[in-house]
Amino acid sequence: MRPGVHSWLITVRHVRHLRSNLWSLLLLSTACGARSELISSGGSLATGGQGGAGGATSSDARVSIISTGWSHTCALVTGGVFCWGDNTYGQLGNNSTDASLVPVRVQDLSSGVTSIATGAVHSCALVNGSVKCWGNGLWGQLGQGSTENSLIPVQVQGLTAGVQSIGLGYWHSCAIAQGHAYCWGANESGRLGNGTTALSTVPFQIQSLTSQVTAIAAGASHTCALVYGSVLCWGANDGGQLGNNSLNGSLTPVQVQGLESGVTAITAGFSHTCAIVNNGAFCWGDDSFGQLGDNTSNARSSLPIQVIGLNSGVKAIDSGGEHTCALANGSVECWGYNRYGQLGNDSTGQSPIPVRVHGMGSDNADISAGYMHTCALSNGQAYCWGDNTYGQLGDNSTTERDTPVQLHLP
């Protein structure tokens, strides 16, 4: 979701309140940095309104996965994949670069899709065991052997069968195939885990993760994998996001301290990481905005710490730009940065502890925290809230929402 130049990260943290200028800053930093040094989806009208997550209708109860990127969102529904929001690089996959305030159908993905994922400005889908990606390809993150953009899904080279899952970072992509981990795209700070910092336009197997990789999560400039119930991470570590009690980056996987067993899920944000451990939530890394959920806004933690109030009953967790959300004990909980209402609690004040998202039901099936917006599935329907500058909430408007708005997907 952003170039991995550290000076750019510092700049963004000083201008978060100037959200309208963020894309111009991104383009400037892209133009100034070498690609080898740069660094987790025909339309149908959707309308939305403020409201809770009750009363699913049969026409809307087909959404199985929702995924949020920087300023776009994608959903997997019966019959295909739909995306909406910013489309500068073709990340909506509809053979266009026009933004859309409502869901549009991704071209050529009408069947066989079992999973989707979104990066900063690219998207990918798992299709009949293979991986297809679209959108921005400047750092090789589409895996097609070039750095070209694509307005429609293209086949990732070498991953044509046997792929089990995918995970997208801001400017890189990863997948698990037959228990092995593969990554491609930007590689500044070593986020591909192959011992180098050179970008790769095709998937590269992480040799030190030989088998039994069950999950992979990619952040802005780091990546983590779940192996035999333990967590290993690699890449940038300026915020302690590798969790190895150090601030030194690593070009190859290192063990997260204290998480050698009992881990069932992992997620990587901008520069923080979280996991579900024995049904409880733990986070580590950057904590500038309370995104670790430990009731502080310390600079960072290089070791996993328990999220307050979420020591049991957690069934899903996702890390966004500088906020985190979880499905726990029948509710949706979010914490951290909240300038655009991405915590969904009818407020724009940040919170260092989990707060309940307003209006969501108890049958919550999926949660996705984007850069500055969040989406969830409840009772078979999709809801989004937070920043809506590019229409990424899909409610046919650009109005910021600090409580969930319901989408009506085709």
In this structure, what CATH number is given to the domain that contains residue 320? 2.130.10.30
* Structure confidence at residue 196 (pLDDT): 97
Q: Is a pLDDT exceeding 80 seen at residue 365?
A: yes
Q: What is the share, in percent, of the chain residues with pLDDT greater than 90?
A: 80
Phi-psi region of 158 (alpha: psi -120 to 50; beta: other; left: phi over 0): left
CA distance 10 to 232: 26
**Cα-based distances in Å from 174 to 133, 298, 325, 331, 372:** 11, 30, 22, 30, 22
Rg for the chain (alpha carbons), in Å? Answer: 19
Q: pLDDT at residue 264 above 50? A: yes
pLDDT surpasses 80 at 4: no
Q: Give dist(CA 61, CA 233) in Å, integer.
A: 36
Beta strands in 8-112 (DSSP E): 63-68, 72-77, 80-85, 100-105
pLDDT of residue 62: 82
Burial of residue 280 (number of CB atoms within 10 Å: 0-12, 13-18, 19+) = middle
Residue 22 domain-assigned (yes or no): no
Alpha helices, DSSP H, located in 48-118: none
Would 33 be classed as within a structural domain? no
Assign 143 a pLDDT band (cuts: 50, 70, 90): very high
Does the pLDDT value for residue 20 go beyond 80? no
- The rounded mean pLDDT for the chain is 87
pLDDT at 51: 31
* Residue 31 falls inside a structural domain: no
Q: How far apart are CA 348 and CA 365, in angstroms?
A: 25
State the average pLDDT over residues 194-215.
95
The DSSP symbol for 33 reads: S
Rounded (10°) CA dihedral 302, 22, 141, 196: -40
Please tell me which residue, 142 or 8, carries the higher pLDDT value: 142
Question: Which residues fall within 8 angstroms of residue 24, CB to CB, at 6 or more apart?
Answer: none
334 in any annotated domain = yes
Q: Does residue 136 lie in a domain region?
A: yes
155 by Cβ neighbours in 10 Å (0-12 / 13-18 / 19+) ranks as middle
More confident residue, 366 or 20: 366
**Predicted local distance difference test score (pLDDT) of residue 287:** 97
Asked whether the beta carbons of 259 and 209 are under 8 A apart, the reply is no
Structural domain count of the chain: 1
Q: Are 211 and 179 in contact (CB under 8 A)?
A: yes
Residues 6+ apart with CB under 8 A from 131: 124, 125, 143, 155, 156, 159, 163, 166, 175
Average pLDDT over residues 37-64: 36
Instruction: Please tell me the predicted confidence (pLDDT) of residue 78.
Output: 87
Beginning with the edge strand found earlier in the chain, give each strand of the sheet holding 100-105 in spatial order.
63-68, 72-77, 80-85, 100-105
What would you measure as the largest C-alpha separation in the chain, in angstroms? 51
Does the pLDDT of residue 115 top 60, yes or no? yes
The answer as to whether 280 is a domain residue is yes
Cα 332 from Cα 345, distance rounded (Å): 10
* pLDDT on residue 90: 98
**Residue 133 sits in which domain range?**
39-406
Task: Give the C-alpha separation, 287 to 50, whole Å.
Answer: 30
Q: Is residue 300 part of a domain?
A: yes
pLDDT in tens, 270-301: 999 999 999 999 999 999 999 999 998 778 99
Q: Does 383 map to a domain? A: yes
DSSP 8-state assignment for residue 397 = S
What are 146-163's pLDDT values in tens digits?
Answer: 999 999 999 999 999 999
Report the distance separating Cα 400 and Cα 410, nearest Å. Answer: 23
Phi, psi of 76 (to 5 degrees): -100, 120
Q: Report the C-alpha gap between 369 and 340 in whole angstroms.
A: 13
> Mean pLDDT across the stretch 75-92?
95
Residue 56's pLDDT is 28
d(CA 33, CA 13): 19
DSSP 61: T
Mean pLDDT of 324-336: 96
Cα–Cα distance for residue pair 363/192, rounded to 1 Å? 36
